[in-house]
Amino acid sequence: MPFSVSWHTLLERLDELPADATLITPLSHSRLHIIDIQEHRVIVQFDESNEKRPLQRDQFETLYHQIQTAHDGFDLDRLPPDAGPYPAVLSVHPRFAIDEDAGVIAETDGPTTTQLADTAHEPDTDDDRTEPEGLDVYSDALLLIDALERHDVTDLPDLETATLVNLYTLLSDVQRDANDFRQEVADVLLSRLHHDRPVAGQYGSVQRTSRRNRSLKDDEDVLSMLEAEGIDRERVMSVDRQKVDEALEVTTLTESDVYEINESEYVRKAEVDDDVKESRLQGLKDRLAASEETEAEELQQEIEALEERIDDLTSFRAGTEVQY
């Protein structure tokens, strides 16, 4: 099938999309929508930055031929930088689909899915916020916020010892809970990131990276191989702390004879009173639930204004706006 036929089919499908239809680019998951459909290009606008960008017909044709010649789909990692909108828009065509798990876009004869955002299942940001169940970091963070609001933490030496203990305990709990939850989020993200291509969100970006860990093989095997290459074993032998500790137990030497010892003092959380935390937390939930509607609306307006300021500070325009 010549590309011209597929191109006009794509334009027809794009023209049938609702005015508020949102597409999501693969890999970077940027959100965009179609603002104009022309014979030789499609103009999109990114939701986060409001940047307008023309997507040229010849670039779609290049991607089309790469998909047809690729085995088991075209690898999305081979896309040039900032080319994510092309496969997102092409996925509206009934014969092209993106498989993010495999990291490819392919032509198929069967049913396909598009990169259209499923707004029917997305949470309504105007609805009242609900507490996520079973998420410890939410509860501890709420208690910490309450403590920070009730005390002037800009001058810690002026605070009572009990207040400092409460702050330290809550900070420790939030740190632990947040790190556990962060790892869970990272595990899911790992399956969606490809190589070193950064993926941006509203508050920052992440990318997949690798860490190389080494551990020596059996001592005798290593020493034998090195000796076969003319390396004397004494050159690579080192003192083993475990063996030194075992030797100290059967000699008259003291620990300070063989160790450089530096002592430092620190604060360690000894225990947590979960009953008191739960009681305080329930009181906070009740107080939030009893908030007047006007207060909730004012808070929502403040949040929206803050998010707009953050978006202005963190947005990045990758190119000039299109004049059409």
pLDDT over 90 at 253, yes or no: no
Comparing 241 with 64, which gets the higher pLDDT? 64
Which residue did the predictor score with more confidence, 194 or 34?
A: 34
SS3 64: helix
Closest CA to 100 of 111, 109, 91, 110: 91
pLDDT for residue 317: 43
pLDDT one-digit tens code per residue, 84-121: 999 999 999 989 989 888 889 998 876 666 778 754 44
Contact 206, 198 (CB under 8 A): yes
pTM metric for this prediction: 0.48
Q: What is the model's pLDDT at position 122?
A: 46
Residue 308 confidence (pLDDT): 66
Is 302 or 189 the better-scoring residue by pLDDT? 189
Q: For the chain, give the mean pLDDT.
A: 80
CA atoms of 43 and 54, how far apart (whole Å) = 4
Sequence-ordered alpha helix ranges (H) in 241-273:
241-248, 255-258
What is the 8-class DSSP label of residue 157? Answer: G
pLDDT, tens digit (0-9, with 9 covering 90-100), for 116-144: 875 444 444 444 567 777 788 888 888 89
- Least reliable range by pLDDT among 49-63, 165-179, 213-227, 277-291: 277-291
Q: According to the model, what pLDDT value does residue 323 have? A: 47
Distances (CA, A) of 156 to 64, 75, 146, 159: 63, 54, 16, 5
Distance CA 5, CA 7 (A): 5
Shortest CA distance to 74 belongs to which of 62, 85, 82? Answer: 62
The larger pLDDT score, comparing residue 294 to residue 324, is at 294
Over 70: is that where the pLDDT of 160 sits?
yes
Of 100 and 272, which is predicted with more confidence? 100
Q: Please determine, for residue 29, whether its predicted confidence score (pLDDT) is greater than 90.
A: no
Chain Cα centroid distance, residue 47: 19
